Amino acid sequence: MSSDVLAPAAAPSRWQRFKDSQLVHSFSRDKLAMVSFTIFVLYLLAALLAPLIAPYNPYDPSAIDIMDSEIPPAWQEEADERFALGTDAQGRDMLSTMLYGTRISLMIGICAVMLQMFLGVMIGLTAGYFGGRIDSFLMRLADIQLSFSTMMVAIVVLAVFQAAFGAELYADLAIFMLILVIGIAEWPQYARTVRASVLAEKHKEYVDAARVMGFKSSRIMWRHILPNTLSPILVISTVQVANAIISEASLSFLGLGMPVSQPSLGSLISSGFEYIFSGSWWITVIPGIVLVVLVLVMNLLGDWLRDVLNPKLYKG
């Protein structure tokens, strides 16, 4: 915002205000929120720094030896000290593969939610601000879109594309397809919430005042109405990223997502599934735990945010 640049003196007070805010206060008293947040930050760091901290590069075929396949993790018998968490069926180091997998899962989750947010906020603002026919049309569309589950739409769309492109080409495009499909399928969540906030704010005095002062409607929306929708958006987003990660994992499990050569957590679990019957549980179970903990801390953070910010969320 331009005001920050013009008035640097305001910065410390803003920081001070943040420090004194209810959010921080409640955070410092809630152990579960603190633990969840710490774990989430660790995940983020691991994802960001994966190429630096991973002992091996799972994408480099020359570094993989098929003779190393299905080595159990270090605390088991027959373990190999080179691989702390064992290896998968192709002989890749589980730890490295999971670090890269987390990176991909988080990236898809976050990008997809950003796309959802973008679409939803635009549509919600339009519907709420202009009202009338535009509003009822867009909300009807949202109803219909929501009545078809995201999973169903995503499975069908991806399946059709996979059949159309062929598996080879699809594998290269998978990451974009996943972001697009998960991103597009869930916009109504945001659109409804933003619309509800706009409707609530629209008739307040400050908006009228801005209109009387002759501001354009786009400016009124961005500068005056949108900031008021931030807390519900924050709450939704936390849970949505968690959901997107689950969706991605499920799609990858079905073979419609990330290829085994460039696995996300979901495709890693999937690739280990057939070995579970022969006793190589770690290929499935360890990435499974990594995935569940990630999604769990995000859901816990979302719950906590909802309790603290208590925004008016749209109820289905």
Which residues contribute to the site for other proteins (CB under 8 A)? 144, 146-152, 155-156, 159-160, 162-164, 242, 246, 249-250, 253-255, 266, 269-270, 273, 276-277, 281, 284-285, 288, 291-292, 295-296, 299-300, 303, 315-316
Closest CA to 298 of 230, 250, 238: 238
CA–CA separation, 115 and 181 (whole Å):
10
Of 9 and 315, which CB lies nearer to other proteins in the complex structure?
315
Q: How far is the CB of 89 from other proteins (least distance, A)?
A: 15
CB atoms within 10 A of CB 88: 30
Helices (H), 9-131: 10-20, 22-29, 31-53, 94-130
CB atoms within 10 A of CB 50: 21
Q: How far is the CB of 245 from other proteins (least distance, A)?
A: 9
Q: How far is the CB of 163 from other proteins (least distance, A)?
A: 5
Q: Which residues contact 89 (CB under 8 A, 6 or more apart)?
A: 69, 70, 271, 272, 275, 280, 283
Of 44 and 254, which CB lies nearer to other proteins in the complex structure?
254
First CA to last CA across the chain, in angstroms? 34
Instruction: Say whether 87 sits in a helix, a strand or coil.
Output: strand
Helices (H), the chain: 2-6, 10-20, 22-29, 31-53, 94-130, 132-147, 150-165, 167-185, 187-202, 205-212, 217-219, 230-253, 265-273, 282-309
Q: How far is the CB of 95 from other proteins (least distance, A)?
A: 20
Q: What length does the chain have?
A: 316
Of 64 and 308, which CB lies nearer to other proteins in the complex structure?
308
Q: How far is the CB of 167 from other proteins (least distance, A)?
A: 9
Q: How far is the CB of 218 from other proteins (least distance, A)?
A: 32
User: Which bin fits 92, alpha (ψ -120 to 50), beta or left (φ > 0)?
Assistant: beta
Instruction: Say whether 180 sits in a helix, a strand or coil.
Output: helix
Of 149 and 217, which CB lies nearer to other proteins in the complex structure?
149
CB atoms within 10 A of CB 164: 9
Of 141 and 210, which CB lies nearer to other proteins in the complex structure?
141
Q: How far is the CB of 105 from other proteins (least distance, A)?
A: 11
Q: How far is the CB of 156 from other proteins (least distance, A)?
A: 6
Of 56 and 232, which CB lies nearer to other proteins in the complex structure?
232
Of 208 and 307, which CB lies nearer to other proteins in the complex structure?
307
Burial class (CB in 10 A: 0-12, 13-18, 19+), 94: buried
Of 105 and 221, which CB lies nearer to other proteins in the complex structure?
105
